[in-house]
Amino acid sequence: MPYVARRVAYLIPTWLAITLLAFFIAQLAPGDPASVYFERLNGRPPGRIELARTRHQLGLDQPVVERYLRWLGHAVQGNLGRSYSSGLPVTHELLSRFPATLELATTATLLAVLLGVPLGVIAASRRNSLIDHVTRGASLIAASAPGFWVAYMLIILFSVKLRLLPSFGTGGVNLLILPALALGLGEAGLLARLARSSMLEVLREEYVTTARAKGLPEWRVTWQHALRNALIAVVTQVGLVFGFLLAYSAIVEVIFVWPGIGALAVNAINQRDYPMIEGFVVFAGTVFILVNLAVDLIYMALDPRISLGSQTVPAVG
Amino acid sequence: MAEKSALTAEAQRLPLAAALVERNALRRRLVADPTALAGLFIVAMVVVVTVAAPLLAPHDPNAQDVLNQFRPPSAHHLLGTDEFGRDELSRIIAGTRISVLTSLAVGAAILAIGVLVGTVSGLAGGLLDGTIMRVVDVLLAFPSLLLALAVAGTLGPGLFHLALAMTAVWWVDYARLVRGLVLGVKEQQYVESARALGMSGRRLALRHILPNIAPPVIVLATLQTARLLLALAALSFLGLGVGPPTAEWGAMLNDGKNFLDTAPQLMLYPGLAITITALGFNLLGEGLRDVLDPGLR
């Protein structure tokens, strides 16, 4: 089978496993979900008959395998049930709030790339210089600071002390700056380190020596000849960073009252809204495996050796 | 002398084993590496604070003093007091114990599970290996923090539930790394000869395979500790870890966020504690990698 077809076919078992995981997680919940559901709806614990009726209504009196299959059947059609807290369809809530998360994660990824990659390349081209040491140190600190804490430090600095930027509210590019910084800084450090080591490797290759021997100026050797090959590793990582930021935005969204799916999920967890938790795991998992697919396809386009040689799907993550 | 150089030559053919053969050289290079030395220093400090927390804390971390809320740093309260007038420094010191010990406990659990699963998978091959690796792929295909969040959130709050959720999610990194390393070592002649001599799988794993794949696993374990620390802080910041009044870094940040305008220092100190500790483990991990496997630098 050609690589692309094999790679796409591979999505199906992975996706099924994710649905299984989502369903399994919801089964870990302590207590009777029917009782939780009834109490949420009516504000009092159910009587025996009411409990039995609710169980039947939610399909909880069926065997677990049957329940999974029925839930899966609905999930395939995009129906992930109704939220316990709002009563609205889970899919609808997730889809209506996804663009906000996408906007935040995209901005943060762009920021991480624009900040991290040039720094890494410069650090590599001036190995062991001051800028190299500063870049390595700063990226290590960025990787060690919790993102959510960085978010609060940014709020304290820019909103509370300097009163330059709003920490939350509606509308405007200004609102995007702090959450994107909070989310992107750590990943910028990661990309800088990766770009640096990848560049160092490429700069040792013979074709770089050839380019230098031809008398090309050093900036062209670095930015045109070497960077192109060094980018292969970076692009893969950028895709993973994007997926990671989609996921990690949950906490940043809560802090900045950002109307995305992450804040929705954290809310659902606090409310014990199991259909929403299940739906979120399936939704986020689906987005994540699609991002990984895109990464692999881009990787393949950049490096044709992958599709010719490898018999297995390259590991992701 | 001759025997030693033969040993060194052998070790150089297997760069990963080299460091283990020459323990003294390893120690010397570790101390000569500024990155590793800085990391070692921070980690040693953290360990001292973790072990001696009750002796070092100047006050009872839970003693309330409502007349002295939100005090700025002073000689009596070096880092000031929080919203209940509790001594901030003592709470950070007490929090070290919970944050670091929980991260280390989760780290040890995932190390054990990951090494066991990875070794079995790598040695067994075939259907068992295929099945295990599909499970690993699925768990890797999902952002760990979110999965831990969902599991811990469903189980309900509590430090034990949180640790359980983190363990269930994070072992896969080790499993994949160890399996890859085992596959690499499996084909080496000394393993084949041990097999030919009729050594059992378990003895083979313990005597020959694990010692030879140890260096990269040690590096991962060190870096992983930093990641676990950050994840633990994030999850307990969301209210999933310890309940009040226990001092824990993530939970302290969760309390402090309500007083951003009036007492921003309550957000500063616990975060710095997390960052410095994570930095220590990251520096040590990087240093160990440079020393154990110079080719990766």
Dist. CA A69–CA A75, nearest whole Å:
10
Query: Residue B143: CB partners within 8 Å, gap ≥ 6?
Result: A243, A244, A246, A247, A248, A284, A288
Asked if B88 and B270 count as a contact pair (C-beta separation under 8 A), the reply is no
pLDDT tens-place string over residues B228-251 = 999 898 888 888 877 777 778 888
Mean pLDDT of B96-117: 91
Q: Which chain A residues touch B222 with a CB distance below 8 Å?
A: none
Q: For residue B18, what pLDDT is reported?
A: 53
Cβ of A160 and B150 within 8 Å? no
Nearest residue on chain A to B279, alpha-carbon basis: A144
Dist. CA B213–CA B26, nearest whole Å:
16
Which segment, A144-148, A170-174, B75-79, B204-208, is predicted with the most confidence on average? A144-148
Residue from B131, B146, B267 whose CB has the most chain A CBs within 10 Å, to mutate: B146
Which DSSP category does A129 fall into? S
Q: For residue B112, what pLDDT is reported?
A: 93
Cβ of A266 and B275 within 8 Å? no
**What tokens does B67 get?**
């007349």
Residue from B103, B139, B149, B252 whose CB has the most chain A CBs within 10 Å, to mutate: B149
Q: For residue B157, what pLDDT is reported?
A: 80
* Residue B16 confidence class, pLDDT cut points 50, 70, 90: low
Residue from B145, B177, B275, B283 whose CB has the most chain A CBs within 10 Å, to mutate: B275
Rg (CA), chain A: 24
Dist. CA A281–CA B147, nearest whole Å:
8
Minimum-distance CB partner of B141 among A141, A155, A288: A288
Q: For residue B9, what pLDDT is reported?
A: 47
- Domain map (residue ranges) of chain A: 2-76, 99-302
Asked if B134 and A17 count as a contact pair (C-beta separation under 8 A), the reply is yes
Instruction: Tell whether the model's pLDDT for residue B4 goes beyond 50.
Output: no
Q: Which chain A residues touch B156 with a CB distance below 8 Å?
A: 30
Instruction: Please check whether residue B257 touches A, CB under 8 A.
Output: yes
Task: Tell me the C-alpha to C-alpha distance, in Å, between residue A147 and each of A143, A181, B233, B274, B282.
Answer: 9, 9, 10, 11, 16
Q: For residue A271, what pLDDT is reported?
A: 78
Cβ of A145 and B271 within 8 Å? yes
Distance from CA of B278 to the nearest CA of A (A): 5
In chain B, % of residues over pLDDT 90: 10
Instruction: Please check whether residue B150 touches A, CB under 8 A.
Output: yes
**Dihedral angle sign, alpha carbons of residues B251, B254, B259, B265:** positive
Distance from CA of B281 to the nearest CA of A (A): 9
Instruction: Please check whether residue B267 touches A, CB under 8 A.
Output: yes
In chain B, % of residues over pLDDT 70: 87
Minimum-distance CB partner of B156 among A30, A145, A254: A30
Dist. CA A112–CA A89, nearest whole Å:
35
Minimum-distance CB partner of A149 among B239, B253, B282: B253
Tell me the pLDDT of chain B averaged across its residues.
79
pLDDT tens-place string over residues A201-224 = 888 888 888 888 888 888 888 887
A57-66 contacts, C-beta under 8 A, 24 or more apart: A58/A33, A58/A34, A60/A32, A60/A33, A60/A34, A64/A27
Q: For residue B274, what pLDDT is reported?
A: 92
Minimum-distance CB partner of A148 among B226, B234, B282: B234
Residue B259: CA count within 13 A, CB half-sphere: 18
Minimum-distance CB partner of B138 among A17, A141, A152: A17
Cβ of B146 and A265 within 8 Å? yes
The partner residues of B87 in beta bridges, in order of sequence, read B81
Instruction: Tell whether the model's pLDDT for residue B29 goes beyond 80.
Output: no
Distance from CA of B214 to the nearest CA of A (A): 22
Query: Residue A122: CB partners within 8 Å, gap ≥ 6?
Result: A131, A135
Q: For residue A51, what pLDDT is reported?
A: 83
Q: For residue A306, what pLDDT is reported?
A: 57
Nearest residue on chain A to B257, alpha-carbon basis: A152
CATH number assigned to the domain with residue range A99-302, chosen from the 4 options 3.30.2130.30, 3.20.170.30, 1.10.3720.10, 3.30.2010.10: 1.10.3720.10
Higher pLDDT, A66 or B30: A66
User: Which range is least confidently modeled, A258-262, B4-8, B222-226?
Assistant: B4-8
* Residue B276 confidence class, pLDDT cut points 50, 70, 90: very high
Q: For residue A166, what pLDDT is reported?
A: 67
Instruction: Please check whether residue B147 touches A, CB under 8 A.
Output: yes
Question: Which residue stretches of chain A have pLDDT < 70?
Answer: 1, 31, 165-173, 304-317
CA terminus-to-terminus distance, chain B: 31
Cβ of A146 and B234 within 8 Å? yes
Asked if A78 and A91 count as a contact pair (C-beta separation under 8 A), the reply is yes
Higher pLDDT, B19 or B278: B278
Instruction: Tell whether the model's pLDDT for residue B148 goes beyond 80.
Output: yes
Q: Which chain B residues touch A22 with a CB distance below 8 Å?
A: 150
Instruction: Please check whether residue B142 touches A, CB under 8 A.
Output: yes
Q: For residue B296, what pLDDT is reported?
A: 45
Residue from B138, B177, B289 whose CB has the most chain A CBs within 10 Å, to mutate: B138
Q: How many CB pairs under 8 A join A and B?
A: 140
Cβ of A153 and B237 within 8 Å? no
pLDDT tens-place string over residues B36-45 = 888 888 998 9
Cβ of B156 and A247 within 8 Å? no
Cβ of A140 and B137 within 8 Å? no
Q: For residue B196, what pLDDT is reported?
A: 79
Dist. CA B19–CA B222, nearest whole Å:
17
